Structure 1
Amino acid sequence: MAAALIGKTDVGVKEFGRDVEVAENPTAKLMYYLDSICYVLNIEKTESNIRKLRDYKNYRRLSNDEVDQLILLCVLFSPDVLLGKCIFPDEEMCGMDMNKFYELSAVSHRFLVTEEIVVGGQTRRVQKILFFRDIWLECFYLEPIKQYQSKIEGIAASLREGRVARQRPQPRAIAATPSRTTQTPVRPQRQQSASRPSASQPAKKDDSSCVII
């Protein structure tokens, strides 16, 4: 796996960011966290509806299903998965801010940064490096995700039930073998006109089927 090194003393380090205002709402905070991770990783091309889910200023527009999708993505891209790879707790690199982004344009022996990481079975390319203070992580991930703990457990239960349902063998339809019927020959009755008696029609097979579960 390719890797780059980055440090605060390197001339080539380029930092960037902007001041933002996030509503005191757990959904808005998680949307901001996801928005920050979208700057770090190239996930827009693989995750549907990602632009709406990271638009934290319009958090009220999310439906219940979209909130569930947001939570799943935040769990998928949780800090413990990314820590030490593309996000780092470092107050010095943050300066006076709660968090700060840096370009992958410098070389140093301070931080080992992987240029590609595997998350959710997919390879993600690291675009930026995020440094943060502990208070940033507490405010925008740890605290709001706790408020959705019961919801997370419900989502996990639903996923487990769906997985079990997909793994359960489907019932097979087995055609019942029709019983053999013995035909009693019918004697032709004497009729006025001399005609050849027609052959008796064989019994039709029963095409009904039974389902074994």
Structure 2
Amino acid sequence: MAFLQSNQIGVKDIGRSVSIPENDVAKLMYYLNCVCFSVDCNDDPDIRRLTNYNNWSSLTVDEQKRLLVFCYTLSPDVFDNKVFFQNDALCQNSSNKFYEISQLRHQVFAVSTIVVAGRARQVNKIMVYKLSWIRFYYLEPMQRLAQRFTAQQRQNQRTSSACTIS
């Protein structure tokens, strides 16, 4: 369990405004980018490619499927109340915001490391979000992309099971 109040923790707003392309793949890449920014997991070139949301259109179908699996594995519930905190007040006028943790007091319970993909990662930043952010950048794109790949898989199965007589 994590407990956070802005008057009990030294935090520094380190967020910046970004523009995310209106595309489900780009939105999930942005979500993964937020995860990796918080827990410093961008050291792998494959992960870096999957977090470069401005180049979303260059991902192959296989990379898009890998992105879907990564995002499913690193879902918000893995980070909620550890690294991600739902807090409209700290978001101010943004749907999400990043803070650098500069000082912890005894009243605050927050994790200092988290295991991601089998490796312990240092948590130096937290992200606060509004529920609309999770819905817009994670839940809805995950659902649509999963439906798209499921439909493609069904179509491929129908095509491969068709009988051809020559």
TM, length-normalised to structure 2: 0.80
The equivalent position to 1:136 in structure 2, one of 130, 133, 138, is: 133
Structure whose alpha-carbon radius of gyration is higher: 1
Alpha-carbon RMSD across the aligned residues, in angstroms, is: 2.6
The equivalent position to 2:51 in structure 1, one of 46, 54, 69, is: 54
Q: Say if 1:71 and 1:152, in contact at 8 Å, map to a contact too.
A: no
Q: What whole-Å deviation, never above 9, does each CA across 1:74-131 have from its counterpart, x for those lacking one?
A: 1121101111111010001111111111112122466521011123433222121000
Q: Say if 1:6 and 1:104, in contact at 8 Å, map to a contact too.
A: no
Q: What whole-Å deviation, never above 9, does each CA across 1:176-195 have from its counterpart, x for those lacking one?
A: xxxxxxxxxxxxxxxxxxxx
Instruction: Look up the equivalent residue of 1:55 and give its one-letter code.
Output: N
Structure 1 runs (4+) greater than 6 angstroms displaced: 152-155
Q: Say if 1:26 and 1:144, in contact at 8 Å, map to a contact too.
A: yes
Indicate the residue corresponding to 1:207 in structure 2: none
2:71 partner SS: helix
2:55 partner SS: helix
Instruction: Look up the equivalent residue of 1:25 and give its one-letter code.
Output: N
Relative contact order, higher structure (CA 8 A, sep 6+): 2
CA distance in 2, matches of 1:11, 1:75: 31
Residue 91 of structure 2 is aligned to residue 98 of structure 1: no
User: Superposition pairs for residues 96-175 of structure 1, below 5 Å?
Assistant: 96-108=93-105, 111-150=108-147, 151=149
**Is the alpha carbon distance of 1:95 and 1:44 closer, same or farther for their aligned partners in structure 2, counting shifts above 3 Å?**
same
2:85 partner SS: strand
Instruction: Look up the equivalent residue of 1:123 and give its one-letter code.
Output: A
Q: Say if 2:20 and 2:53, in contact at 8 Å, map to a contact too.
A: yes
- Aligned residues: percent identity? 36
Instruction: Look up the equivalent residue of 1:105 and give its one-letter code.
Output: S
> Structure 1 residue 69: deviation in Å?
1.6
Indicate the residue corresponding to 2:164 in structure 1: none
2:139 partner SS: helix
Q: Say if 2:96 and 2:133, in contact at 8 Å, map to a contact too.
A: yes
**Is the alpha carbon distance of 1:91 and 1:60 closer, same or farther for their aligned partners in structure 2, counting shifts above 3 Å?**
same
CA distance in 2, matches of 1:111, 1:10: 7
Indicate the residue corresponding to 1:181 in structure 2: none
Range moving further from structure 2, 110-119 or 28-37: 110-119
